[in-house]
Amino acid sequence: MSKTGLDLSACQLADAIRDGELRAADVCGTFLEHIREQDPKLQAFVTVLEDDAMRQAESVDRDHSHAGAALLRGVPIALKDNLCTRGVPTTCSSKILEGFVPPYDATVVARLRGVTPFLGKTNLDEFAMGSSTENSALFETRNPHDPGCVPGGSSGGSAAAVASGMAPLALGSDTGGSIRQPAAFCGVVGLKPTYGRVSRYGLIAFASSLDQIGPFARTAEDAALLLDAIAGPDPRDATCLATAAPSCRAALSKPFEKLRVGLPREYFQEGLSAPVAQALAATRQSLQDLGCSMVDVSLPHTDYAVPTYYILAPAEASSNLARYDGVQYGLRAPAGNLIEQYLNTRSAGFGREVKRRIMLGTYALSSGYYDAYYLKALKVRRLIHDDFSKAFAQADVLLTPTTPTAAFRFGEKVSDPLQMYLSDIFTISANLAGLPALSFPCGMDGHLPIGAQLIGPALSEARLLRIVHEYQKDTNWHLRRPQSILRSPQKRKRTPGEAG
């Protein structure tokens, strides 16, 4: 397989492997070679699974009994390192999970095992808490379009891996924008499905009522292919929908509907950079050229989304992260008694941002403050959900910016948590309402990508992907490749158990 194979879409790779035009082992080997060349510069991967990936790929080439049954067969994939992967260190990019090797697969990983070679596990903000991947306890991942800029977060490693061509597909998780924001910063497609569409079993929890797993890809068609592979009922996740998920890829071939596209006025106000505003105006025109009509709508409680999220998400994190006590797994700090063990382990194992959110959440849940903060935030969450319901009575989907600006530079916001939190201002509401939302490339601010976001009613993933699929037929923003990558490799230490 030539180097040009790196430019093939996941769907093209899958078709070529199925038809015998390419061997899965050759495809996998080419991506692993590209990882060896580029990852020392970008640091997207926590663990590279060279030997395992090649074994999986060779197994695909040998076993033709299921040829054609799995549409993704043989296409390599990268996995965010908060997805439990059997026999592979799973770190959540945190010191507190040092030495943790899961004995089981997350449901999404199990559904892909034996079908797609796993290239490796990708870097993230510690426990998925962050918007820049600067909060990783291991190292910073760099934006392939400008190594001086962040790739976004928390799924920065997965976004950078796809944007740089080190992986044709990747999985991430999205609690308040952690798929869509890095997708926008890195110039790829990122989808947060409806809450419950994809099983969360085996996803290391941050905020259980908000977390959702979804795909990164170069095109809407590729994202549909991966979503079809991971979505569907799972009895091990009580919040997973019991109804079978329809094929999103099959929906892409249906006649295009002329839809009503809502423009929430609260998303197009001050704080939006001029290049982002211009890119969204051009996207709006492109959708009108496809036959869509534009409708002005309002989401009046938008201003309350960020404070609501930063009460609810830390509250859930406070409960979820209480299990890391140095007793059952992960880091165990030296101590003279049990209380000291808790204190020493958590002090040494958790980073600053994780500690900040645990303290915020514990405070919001504490006696005397529960009603004033947590209970009130739940009520506002309902109001935000109702805003979307009213908007979807007027429009079929909503078009918004994904982020207020293009990617920012390292260190620009890390010392100002509020400014960092506000970078997710356009993505958080969809998580609070449990709605599907999709970010896709729609322009450039100089050499940095800009992303637009589509939000739809519950279970409308196929519609969102269909719109972007049509949009990508007439535009080439998704074809732009990074031009600015570090020329001299930066050495870093890999994690134990890593091959290559």
Give helix 24-42 / helix 50-62 axis angle, nearest 10°. 160
Question: Is residue 286 within a helix (H) or strand (E), and if so which, with residue range?
Answer: helix 274-289
- Annotated active-site residue 488? The verdict is no
Q: In the numeric block, which tokens belong to residue 378?
A: 């739940």
Report the DSSP beta bridge partners of residue 172. 214
**Rounded to whole angstroms, what are the CA distances from 167 to 29, 161, 439, 445, 472?**
11, 6, 18, 25, 20
Alpha-carbon span 265 to 304, nearest angstrom: 15
Tokens 């197994």 locate to: 59
Nearest to 449 by CA among 403, 406, 483: 406
Total length of the chain: 500
Parallel, antiparallel, or unpaired for β 77-80 and 397-401? unpaired
Distance of CA 250 to the CA centre of its chain: 23
DSSP structure string for 292-357? -EEEEE--TTGGGHHHHHHHHHHHHHHHHGGG-SSSSSS-----SSHHHHHHHHHHHHS-HHHHHH
484 a catalytic residue? no
Residue given tokens 């820049």 in the structure block: 132
3-state DSSP assignment of residue 273: coil
Which of 9, 80, 192, 413 is flagged as catalytic? 80
Active-site pick, 154, 429, 439, 460? 154
Give a three-class secondary structure readout of 302-315. HHHHHHHHHHHHHH
DSSP label of 48: E
The SS3 assignment for 28 reads helix
Q: Note if 154 is an active site residue.
A: yes
Candidates 131, 155, 164, 178; catalytic one: 178
CA 237 to chain CA mean position, Å: 20
For residue 173, what is the DSSP state? E
How many angstroms separate the CA atoms of 245 and 233, rounded? 8
Closest CA to 364 of 353, 351, 377: 377
Identify each DSSP E strand in 218-317 by its residue range: 260-264, 293-297
Query: What span, in angstroms and rounded, lies between the C-alpha atoms of 42 and 161?
Result: 9
Contacts of residue 234, defined as CB under 8 A and 6 or more positions apart, other chains included, come to 107, 199, 201, 240
Q: Do 186 and 144 meet the contact criterion of CB atoms below 8 Å apart?
A: yes
Strands 260-264 and 212-217: unpaired
Query: Catalytic residue numbers?
Result: 80, 154, 178
